[in-house]
Amino acid sequence: MTTPPATNPTTPSGAAPTGTTTSGAETIGTKPSGAGSTSAARAGADHRVRFRLIRGELTRIAAVRLHRWAALAAVVCGGGLTGLLSVIGPENATPPMPGIDTPEGAALVVGITGVLLFVPALIGAIGIAGEYRHRTIATTFLAEPRRGRVLTAKLVVYAALGLAYGVIASLTSAIALLAAAAVRGVDLTIPAGDLITLLIRLAVAAAAYTILGVAIGALAGHQLVAVGIIVGYFYFLEYILLVVPGINTIYPYLPGGATAALTDFSFITSTIAEQTAAPGPGLLPAAAGAAVLLAYAAAAATTAALLPLRRDIN
């Protein structure tokens, strides 16, 4: 009498049992699903780490009251400057400019806020450079050794802070224009759509400048050096380049020229061209100016995220 082969009583006849190997050495069972669960768990952990880093940066900014100073600066640079020029009247300036009763004049007094976009750049630079100066960045890197994630979280938070600055400056600028027009009894003829578009452009430019400031602060590593670089560049070097014939052709591709194109603020280039009796550089279209400015912000963000990775922190 022949003895039948032993079988697993829980396994249907003719089916390979789970977790065993077939004749082709192909594993059938729980390992692929386990690997997928592990990957999902790691992805979830990564998201939680990034969220905690961003939340930590928000807490840090709130603790040093940087957001309050940024909001105050936005009100002064946006509403204060626009209100002052609107009340005085740009047509009373030297040289005279179009009045706020014209679309060109109203856009000019709002667009001049772009001249003070170095302020959000200073906010970003002082914030990040202060961490290097006071060595608090070392504590952060010890808590999270992956510096790229830390700096990326800082860029995200500071970009949001810069956008908030731009929104406050734009809104207060619009309110100041409307209030000044009411006080002077002037009817605004600028289309509402054009004014809103200009305000949005200013807000976006403020966010881009804040990222530029973070990059400069991360590279400088010292607050005074970062402030010197920003003020020296935006208030001296760019204007010097603008008045030098031949070299001024690169001005439209510099951050200041790109901002002037984005906000359609050609007063400075036109005035310099009149005083020097030389043809000034033309500005790029608004969309091209926005692309150039965002390209600067992207390059600055990449530099700020990569270069400090190789730097020793004392």
Amino acid found at 131: E
Partners of 27 in the β-ladder: 21
Q: Residues 6 or more apart from 308 whose CB is under 8 A from it? A: 147, 151, 218
pLDDT > 70 in the chain, percent: 84
Better-predicted residue by pLDDT, 33 or 160: 160
pLDDT at 10 over 60: no
Better-predicted residue by pLDDT, 154 or 46: 154
d(CA 59, CA 64): 9
Question: What's the pTM?
Answer: 0.78
d(CA 140, CA 286): 40
Environment class of 60 (CB within 10 Å of its CB; exposed 0-12, middle 13-18, buried 19+): middle
The per-residue pLDDT for range 86-141, each reduced to its tens digit, is: 988 888 877 778 888 889 889 988 988 888 888 899 988 888 888 877 777 778 77
pLDDT at 210 (0 to 100): 92
d(CA 106, CA 120): 23
pLDDT > 90 in the chain, percent: 18
Q: Are 87 and 154 in contact (CB under 8 A)?
A: no
The per-residue pLDDT for range 239-256, each reduced to its tens digit, is: 888 888 778 888 889 988
The per-residue pLDDT for range 51-72, each reduced to its tens digit, is: 888 888 888 887 777 778 888 9
Better-predicted residue by pLDDT, 314 or 168: 168
The per-residue pLDDT for range 183-197, each reduced to its tens digit, is: 888 888 899 999 999
